[in-house]
Amino acid sequence: MEHFKVLLMKKTLLLLITAAMFTTTQAQGILGKLGKTAKGDSTKTSGSLLDKISKATSKQGGSLGSEEIISGLKEALTVGSTNSSQLLNKTDGFFANAAIKILMPEEAKKAESTLRKFGMGSLVDKAILSMNRAAEDAAGGIKDIFWNAIKGMTVTDGLAILRGGDDAATNYLKKNTTSQLTESMRPVIEKSLEKTDATKYWKDVFTAYNKFSKETVNTDISAYVTERSMNGIFYSIAQEELKIRKDPAAQVTDLLKKVFGK
């Protein structure tokens, strides 16, 4: 009897988390339906949780199948990553966005302060602008990497996203693309840094700084800009995901409206 109560409590907690993805009416229907299932059989499951959600929402008029739920999640990630790529892959996509603008690394803050003090602020500003231009340039070549990760989403992945928070889908992309993004973006970043003269400005900045300091700065600019670029990209995708989950205006397809809409 005690074992049954513990099992029922675990199932109920899981269902409460999952039900947050739906409207109040749908959530009540899901919990009611699955509660009966748990009471009727405490030792085995009747199909996957996604299948149970599908049956419960169908009863509530949602007509959501497990395949539709997964398709909806994939579509949300596709829309979010595409929007982010288009938003960032343009002039000032990074530079004009205070949340993701690439600034000097922490270890170079003293150098920046010293150079500005000696009237070399313009040199620092050019270095910062060039780093952001490189990130904007590289943001255009990321869609295929994201799309391949999205295509590979499994039912298990979908269930984890359903149980997760408002950025669970973004975290799925981060987990499955960071290594490939780093490998793909770094050479693009390096070329962009050369094209925008960021490497030159960086060298000029720290050559000038090292004349005033006993402790020289030797930061790998391409690695730094690549890391900060990816952080900005995932931040942007997370914002897109949140809008799709919460804002009906961002649910731009019938499937998104069906899975995420009220």
- List, for residues 68-83, the tens digit of each pLDDT value: 888 888 888 999 999 9
Helices of type H across the chain: 2-19, 24-40, 49-59, 66-88, 109-117, 121-138, 143-151, 155-163, 168-195, 198-210, 221-246, 254-260
23 with 130, same domain: the answer is no
pLDDT score recorded for residue 65:
73
183 with 211, same domain: the answer is yes
- Asked if 222 and 186 count as a contact pair (C-beta separation under 8 A), the reply is yes
96 with 214, same domain: the answer is yes
The pLDDT of 25-40, averaged and rounded, is 37
Residue 118 has pLDDT above 90, yes or no: no
The pLDDT of 26-50, averaged and rounded, is 38
Q: Would you call 39 exposed, middle or buried from its count of C-beta atoms within 10 A (0-12, 13-18, 19+)? A: exposed
List, in order, residues 6 or more apart from 134 with CB less than 8 Å away: 189, 192, 193, 195, 196, 198, 225, 229
The pLDDT of 60-67, averaged and rounded, is 60
The pLDDT of 90-117, averaged and rounded, is 89
pLDDT score recorded for residue 64:
64
76 with 100, same domain: the answer is yes
User: Pick the residue with more confidence: 16 or 108?
Assistant: 108
User: Pick the residue with more confidence: 150 or 208?
Assistant: 150
The pLDDT of 93-114, averaged and rounded, is 88
87 with 205, same domain: the answer is yes
Of 64, 80, 103, which residue sits at a domain end?
64
Question: What is the pTM (predicted TM-score) of this model?
Answer: 0.69
In this prediction, residue 51 has a pLDDT band, given cuts at 50, 70 and 90, of low
85 with 39, same domain: the answer is no
53 with 109, same domain: the answer is no
Domain that holds residue 148: 67-260
Tell me how far the alpha carbon of residue 217 is from its chain's centroid.
32
106 with 30, same domain: the answer is no
pLDDT score recorded for residue 123:
83
Of 64, 92, 112, which residue sits at a domain end?
64
Q: Which amino acid is residue 144, in one-letter code?
A: D
129 with 48, same domain: the answer is no
Residue 49 has pLDDT above 50, yes or no: no
State the total domains in the chain.
2
Distance CA 215, CA 11 (A): 59
232 with 179, same domain: the answer is yes
29 with 83, same domain: the answer is no
Residue 174 has pLDDT above 60, yes or no: yes
Distance CA 121, CA 125 (A): 6
60 with 135, same domain: the answer is no
Of 64, 95, 111, which residue sits at a domain end?
64
